[in-house]
Structure 1
Amino acid sequence: MSLRSLVIPALLGSSLATSAFAGGLADPVTPVPLALPPAAPVAGEWTGFYLGGQYGTGHLEEVPNGVDENGAIYGLHAGYMYDFGDWVLGGEVDYDWTEIVDEGAIDGALDYIARAKLRVGYDLGDALPYFTAGMAQAQFSDPGIPTISDTGYFYGLGLAYKVRPNVLVGGEYLRHEFEDFDGTGLSPTIDTFTLRA
């Protein structure tokens, strides 16, 4: 038997053994977790119908004739809003009964103020500051005089806040202006501030 016949099988055997164990003693490869960017804040969803009530105070003024009266107001509102992302548009109707009485130039109680509103607000998540404007109708009555009513306009600011997904609270200030109220020559202004839910 030659040396050559002994060396070649030995070399082949060691080569095969090395191949069989290659990588067998190496440390296992652990995948590195990927760092994901933080999620962007999700804007609040304001789309939908709503219904509620309000309570507050009103101030009636008619400057040339010295009318300057205050009283409570309370009522109901209903509307619809649509959330476009940053901006929220909507429409609303509301009705307020009042306890404002004037015994001077207007001579009567302010029975009610009814409004048709347009609203535009900016979505801050759970808070919605907004501007509102539209048409208003008011009525005065007194047992001794005919009832008078007229239509004017109003504008104002408000803030709604979500305390729960389906519960909103807020406040609203409105300025109402009327010209030549029902042909009387009087031009009263009415400021209202209400808390709403």
Structure 2
Amino acid sequence: MLKRLSVLIAASLLSTSAFAADGWTGWYVGASAGHGSGESDARVALGGAWSSESAALRDEVVAQMSNDLDPSGSGYGLQFGYNHDFGGFVLGAELDHSWLNIDESAVDGPRATTAFPSLSYTTVNAVELNDQTSLRVKLGYAADRHFVYATGGWTQVDVDAAAGITSNGGYAKLGGFSDRLDGTQYGLGYEFDFGNQWSIRGEYLRTNLDDFDYDTVYLPGSTFVSPAYTETVRQDLDFDTIRVGVNYRF
């Protein structure tokens, strides 16, 4: 019995020594999943024939079309990276790709205008986030099996957005945006090593994307096509992600 206990203690000590020798240095691959929520504010500028309308009507249309959206949803992905342990301080880099399902839409109306009570408008605004790719550096401190770090770098996200306006007088416009937006991503994380090359981690990440803009166009059947009324939408997009993941070091 004593001999068996001695073997178990020795194996445990050797395992701890091996981890201390290697630290957090090495390549790793893993998967993660979590939840994202953000803000996307759309601001509308009117042009063209809108200049012939009263200031009161223009102000109402701008206010109704300028929506503040709060997209939210889930996401999951894969990560691949490398850490180097400098005796406690750890420097690393990570490439990850996430599949997002984060969106929000808003419909306002029909709403009668105060300038012309017989005239009402309905507006819509929507935003959707899809694939995200990020390349970040990591800098942190490791104590035995615990690793806390800050991370930051470049990101790119597939974004779809749309805005439209219709009236009971036959006015019908819709505009859309679909492209990959560049931005920055930064945050904090904690990782715990279970041994046998497996670890689990939790992260908070903030993503700030470049602003984007697009114009509406007349829909088929619109009774107003000339003189041209124009609406330009300028929109921003930022979101937070909280996620957990597992890594395998090799």
Structure 1 and Structure 2 fold alike (TM over 0.5):
yes
Structure of higher RCO (CA pairs closer than 8 Å, 6+ residues apart): 2
Q: 1:140-171: CA deviations, max 9, x gaps?
A: 23799452221000110001110123001010
Kindly indicate which of the two structures has a greater share of residues assigned to strand: 2
Distance 1:90 1:186, change over 3 A: same
What code does the residue aligned with 2:235 have?
A: L
Q: How does 1:2-21 map to 2 (within 5 A)?
A: none
Report the alpha carbon displacement of residue 181 of structure 1 after superposing the two structures with TM.
Answer: 3.1
The two structures, once aligned, show a CA RMSD in angstroms of 2.5
Residue of structure 1 in register with 2:224 after alignment: none
Instruction: Say whether the 8 Å CA contact 2:72–2:104 is kept in structure 1.
Output: no
Q: Between Structure 1 and Structure 2, how many residues are aligned?
A: 158
Residue 60 of structure 1 deviates from its aligned partner by 2.2
Is residue 2:132 matched to residue 1:113? yes
Alignment partner of 1:103: what SS? Answer: strand
CA distance in 2, matches of 1:95, 1:189: 18
- 8 Å CA contact 1:149, 1:182 repeated in 2: no
Conservation of the 8 A alpha-carbon contact between 2:153 and 2:185: yes
CA displacement at 1:43 relative to structure 2: 7.0
Q: Secondary structure in 2 aligned to 1:185?
A: strand
Larger radius of gyration: 1
> Which residue pairs with 1:134 in the alignment?
153
Alignment-derived partner of residue 190 in structure 1:
239
Contact 1:158 1:172 survives alignment (8 Å) = yes
Q: Does 1:78 align with 2:80?
A: yes
Confirm or deny: 8 A CA contact 2:71 2:128 kept in the other structure.
no
Which runs of no fewer than 5 residues in structure 2 stay unpaired?
1-16, 43-66, 107-123, 163-174, 215-232
CA distance in 1, matches of 2:245, 2:213: 30
User: Aligned partners of 1:137 and 1:153: how far apart in 2?
Assistant: 8
The correspondence of residues 7-156 of structure 1 with structure 2, limited to 5 A, is: 42=20, 45-63=23-41, 65-104=67-106, 107-141=126-160, 145-156=176-187
Would you identify which runs of 4 or more consecutive aligned residues in structure 1 move more than 4 Å? 142-146
